[in-house]
């Protein structure tokens, strides 16, 4: 006999295979497990995500990831990294406890999406369970509106290749009630840079988006130009941090001719973004440098990150002043960047607006955010059958 709501959520939109179980406590969602298998090692060889390689890796990881998530949702079932997966135990939990299936339906790489989506539909069909299809951007928004975290752990099996291992963490309760609306969500990742106005649960209006490169993509390309490897975002950010700290401490003097990059669309009065020109400006600057030393790379990284920060802050403030939200969300993989996060937080505070961002383990692509979003769809009665569910690599976030 199933006791209470329990969602199995699946995410495979790009290069992370993820599954999570979401429960309920006192009328709020509870993250019971969140398993992520990363493909970073695979794509580091080519300096970026290769769609066909990503799809095949998802196919290898999907079953063990889902099973581990089911096992991890029960404290007594958590396995150590050296223990093999007991698939029968996972099946028993699925049969006896899961009430809903949630899955990312887009946007994303179509081959990657189809792996998780096919698994979700198969489970929904075989267990006669309702399915909730979730927009990936919507998931990122809810990652900052996270519920109570009970047994929030990330056990990893040796049968899951290229896995990320997270330590146990407690996330402060951040209930998603009506008092925080309307809110403004800045979602920034490798594939997305957008501003969304959210008036209540399920009511979205995209008010701004990138017209070319996303911020995360620009970070990766700048890293590639400087030979820093993939993924480039964390490396570029760390080099920028070193430069700023050395300037602040006096270990490094301000340059006589400091590098300053353009801030695309910063004054155009729209809420759209563009980072292709910024990336090109970095390329031209590097070409002019005869000796690209580590110190010069740090300066370039800092100048690039400063330009990104200025654009993100300016566009966010423009939206805040136009729409008067009660809160600003900064979510997506790039929200893990502490410098950008603190800058947007400070700007929001000056406008008297609350600032919300994901906690550790929820910045990048993960299935918990998909399950959290699905929870509110379920409460509204917005569910589907496996026959009616569909996938769309270019899915839009609409009302």
Confidence of residue 3 (pLDDT cuts 50, 70, 90): confident
CA 294 and chain centroid, separation: 30
Confidence of residue 128 (pLDDT cuts 50, 70, 90): very high
Calpha distance 220→236 (Å, rounded): 8
pLDDT of residue 160: 37
Q: Which of 99, 153, 90 is nearest to 128 (CA)?
A: 99
pLDDT of 157 strictly over 50:
no
pLDDT of 165 strictly over 70:
no
CATH, range 7-172+360-379: 3.30.420.40
Strand, helix or coil for residue 223: helix
pLDDT of 172 strictly over 60:
no
The domain segmentation of the chain, as residue ranges, is: 7-172+360-379, 180-356
Per-residue pLDDT reduced to its tens digit, 176-185: 566 789 999 9
Q: Which of 317, 338, 331 is nearest to 363 (CA)?
A: 331
pLDDT of residue 152: 37
Residue for token digits 């390689």? 53
CA distances from 184 to 181, 205, 354 (A): 9, 10, 10
Calpha distance 14→104 (Å, rounded): 11
What's the average model confidence in pLDDT over 169-178? 45
pLDDT of 159 strictly over 50:
no
Q: Do domains 7-172+360-379 and 180-356 have the same CATH topology?
A: yes
pTM of structure: 0.90
CA 64 and chain centroid, separation: 22
Q: Which of 212, 185, 180 is nearest to 196 (CA)?
A: 185
Return the percentage of the chain with pLDDT > 70, whole number.
88
The single-letter DSSP state of residue 254 is: P
What's the average model confidence in pLDDT over 108-134? 97
Calpha distance 68→156 (Å, rounded): 7
Q: Which of 92, 93, 136, 100 is nearest to 6 (CA)?
A: 100
Confidence of residue 313 (pLDDT cuts 50, 70, 90): very high
Q: Which CATH number fits domain 180-356: 3.20.20.70, 3.30.420.40, 2.60.40.60, 3.40.50.880?
A: 3.30.420.40
């Amino acid at each position: 006999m199933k006791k209470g709501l329990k969602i199995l959520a699946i995410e495979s939109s790009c290069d992370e295979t993820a599954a999570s179980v979401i429960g309920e406590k006192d009328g709020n969602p509870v993250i019971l497990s969140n398993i992520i298998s990363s493909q970073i090692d695979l794509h580091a060889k080519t300096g970026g995500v290769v769609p066909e390689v990503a799809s095949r890796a998802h196919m290898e990881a999907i079953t063990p990831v889902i099973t581990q998530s089911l096992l991890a949702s029960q404290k007594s079932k958590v396995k150590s990294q050296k223990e093999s997966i007991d698939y029968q135990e996972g099946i028993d939990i699925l049969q006896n406890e899961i009430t809903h299936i949630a899955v990312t339906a887009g946007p994303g790489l179509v081959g990657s999406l189809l792996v998780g989506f096919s698994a979700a539909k198969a489970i929904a069909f075989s267990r006669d369970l309702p399915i909730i299809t979730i927009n990936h951007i919507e998931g990122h928004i809810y990652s900052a509106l996270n519920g109570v975290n009970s047994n929030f752990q990330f056990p990893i099996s040796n049968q899951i290749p290229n896995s990320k291992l997270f330590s146990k963490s407690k996330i402060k309760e951040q209930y998603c009630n009506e008092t925080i609306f309307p809110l403004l969500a800045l979602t920034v990742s490798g594939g997305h840079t957008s501003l969304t106005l959210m008036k209540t649960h399920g009511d979205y209006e995209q008010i701004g988006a990138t017209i070319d490169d996303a911020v995360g993509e620009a970070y990766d390309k700048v890293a590639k130009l400087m030979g820093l490897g993939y993924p480039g975002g964390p490396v570029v950010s760390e080099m920028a941090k070193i430069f700023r700290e050395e300037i602040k401490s006096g270990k490094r003097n301000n340059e006589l001719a400091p590098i300053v990059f353009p801030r695309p669309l910063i004054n155009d009065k729209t809420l759209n973004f563009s980072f292709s020109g910024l990336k090109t400006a970095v390329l031209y600057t590097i070409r002019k440098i005869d000796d690209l030393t580590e110190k010069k790379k740090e300066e370039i990284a800092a100048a690039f990150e400063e330009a990104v920060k200025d654009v993100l802050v300016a566009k966010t403030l423009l939206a805040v002043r136009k729409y008067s939200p009660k809160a600003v969300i900064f979510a997506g993989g790039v929200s893990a960047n502490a410098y950008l996060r603190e800058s947007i937080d400070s700007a929001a505070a000056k406008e008297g607006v609350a600032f919300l961002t994901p906690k550790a383990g929820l910045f990048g692509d993960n299935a918990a955010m998909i399950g959290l979003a699905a929870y509110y769809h379920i409460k509204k009665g917005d569910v589907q059958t496996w026959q009616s569910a569909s996938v769309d690599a270019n899915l839009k976030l609409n009302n």
